[in-house]
């Protein structure tokens, strides 16, 4: 019973979706204020989801099962990550050893769900979006792994989220060292690519390929994809905070750190144009990868 409560309500689905939708509104409002506009009211993202529930669901010919089930796959994985991270903050040593690796793999599943669902819709523009999503996944996974390895080395080989938090409580946040700072910069770029916003909004480019991977979705499945995005917008920054800024994880400090990451992301999004997919590959496999390797070497020598 308790784990169902955790999964569905408090650190899990309802809590993370609410925070994620509010964060999405914060992003939209800040964007609007930066462009000298008024921006939407605070309940706008909730209204969008509610409205999508009332719309007709159109299914392309012949691929019903994959098309309708893949949104749930992504949502389940994202909620699992948010539950696990939330419980780790509340009671650090509750989970099992090696959950860092499990969480890292689960964070890739929403992208995989998007790839499966979009490619089963048989739309040419969706297939363009799918190929871009796959390339994006290949581009950002390597630097992200390198920055996580840096943290693992710095925490003396701890592969459990709770141990990483405790290590930082004793020795201070990982970001306040040379290797930690380098890995943090790499992780911020990877976070934006994982969320698909700003510079890396290439798989879903609304102006260019008309929604890309989401082009054939309508009604309830689209609402679930939007919810998955909201949960990811809560989860991925939280993951970065736990890995790099894990000294004080009280509610006020946590909210302040989360808002700081959101503001950084929104500012980067509003001051830079979207990249092409070849530019993204070139960018990720040069600068962040080299920075990540340097961070790993520095971490080995204890800097």
Helix axes 220-244, 44-53, angle to 10 degrees: 140
Is the separation of the CB atoms in 57 and 69 below 8 Å?
no
Least distance in Å: CB of 240 to other proteins? 29
Least distance in Å: CB of 225 to other proteins? 11
User: How far apart (Å, rounded) are the C-alpha atoms in residues 114 and 228?
Assistant: 10
SS (H, E, C) 283-296: HHHHHHHHHHHHHH
Least distance in Å: CB of 173 to other proteins? 37
- Tell me whether residue 162 or residue 221 sits nearer to other proteins (CB atom): 221
**Can you say whether the dihedral through the CA atoms of 239, 245, 249, 255 is positive or negative?**
negative
How distant, in Å, are the alpha carbons of 143, 248, 253, 289 from that of 180?
Answer: 14, 17, 19, 14
- Tell me whether residue 55 or residue 282 sits nearer to other proteins (CB atom): 55
User: How far apart (Å, rounded) are the C-alpha atoms in residues 59 and 73?
Assistant: 18
- Tell me whether residue 54 or residue 62 sits nearer to other proteins (CB atom): 54
Helix, strand and coil content of the chain, in percent to the nearest 5, comes to 75, 0, 25
Least distance in Å: CB of 126 to other proteins? 10
User: How far apart (Å, rounded) are the C-alpha atoms in residues 180 and 113?
Assistant: 32
Instruction: Give the number of C-alpha atoms closer than 13 A to the C-alpha of residue 123, restricted to the C-beta side.
Output: 21
- Tell me whether residue 44 or residue 289 sits nearer to other proteins (CB atom): 44
User: How far apart (Å, rounded) are the C-alpha atoms in residues 82 and 86?
Assistant: 6
- Tell me whether residue 141 or residue 204 sits nearer to other proteins (CB atom): 204
Residues lying near other proteins in the complex (CB under 8 A): 28, 32, 35-41, 44, 47-48, 50-51, 53-58, 206-207, 209-211, 214-219, 222
H or E segment and range at residue 154: helix 124-154
Least distance in Å: CB of 211 to other proteins? 4
User: How far apart (Å, rounded) are the C-alpha atoms in residues 299 and 130?
Assistant: 36
User: How far apart (Å, rounded) are the C-alpha atoms in residues 236 and 103?
Assistant: 10
- Tell me whether residue 143 or residue 196 sits nearer to other proteins (CB atom): 196
Least distance in Å: CB of 60 to other proteins? 10
Is the separation of the CB atoms in 186 and 143 below 8 Å?
yes
Least distance in Å: CB of 31 to other proteins? 9
Tokens of 15: 């809590």
- Tell me whether residue 41 or residue 251 sits nearer to other proteins (CB atom): 41
Least distance in Å: CB of 82 to other proteins? 25
- Tell me whether residue 25 or residue 244 sits nearer to other proteins (CB atom): 25
């Amino acid at each position: 019973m308790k784990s169902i409560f955790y999964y569905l309500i408090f650190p899990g689905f309802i809590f993370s979706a609410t925070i994620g939708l509010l964060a999405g509104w914060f992003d939209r409002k800040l964007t609007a204020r930066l462009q000298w506009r008024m921006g939407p009211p605070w309940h706008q993202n909730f209204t969008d989801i509610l409205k999508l529930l009332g719309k007709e669901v159109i299914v392309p010919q012949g691929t019903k099962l994959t098309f309708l089930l893949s949104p749930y796959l992504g949502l389940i994985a994202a909620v699992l990550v948010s539950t696990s991270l939330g419980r780790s903050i509340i009671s650090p040593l509750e989970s099992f050893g090696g959950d860092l690796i499990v969480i890292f793999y689960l964070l890739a599943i929403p992208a995989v769900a998007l790839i499966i669902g979009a490619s089963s819709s048989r739309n040419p523009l969706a297939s363009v979006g799918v190929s871009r999503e796959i390339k994006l996944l290949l581009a950002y996974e390597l630097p992200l792994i390198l920055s996580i390895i840096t943290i693992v080395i710095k925490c003396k080989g701890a592969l459990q989220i709770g141990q990483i938090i405790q290590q930082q409580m004793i020795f201070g946040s990982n970001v306040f060292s040379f290797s930690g700072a380098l890995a943090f910069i790499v992780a911020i770029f990877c976070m934006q690519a994982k969320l698909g916003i700003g510079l890396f909004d290439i798989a879903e480019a609304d102006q260019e390929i008309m929604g890309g991977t989401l082009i054939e979705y309508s009604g309830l499945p689209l609402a679930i994809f939007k919810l998955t995005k909201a949960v990811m917008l809560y989860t991925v920054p939280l993951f970065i905070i736990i890995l790099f800024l894990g000294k004080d994880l009280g509610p006020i400090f946590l909210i302040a750190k989360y808002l700081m990451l959101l503001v950084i992301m929104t500012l980067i999004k509003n001051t830079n144009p979207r990249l092409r997919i070849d530019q993204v590959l070139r960018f990720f496999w040069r600068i962040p990868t080299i920075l990540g390797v340097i961070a790993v070497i520095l971490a080995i020598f204890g800097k």
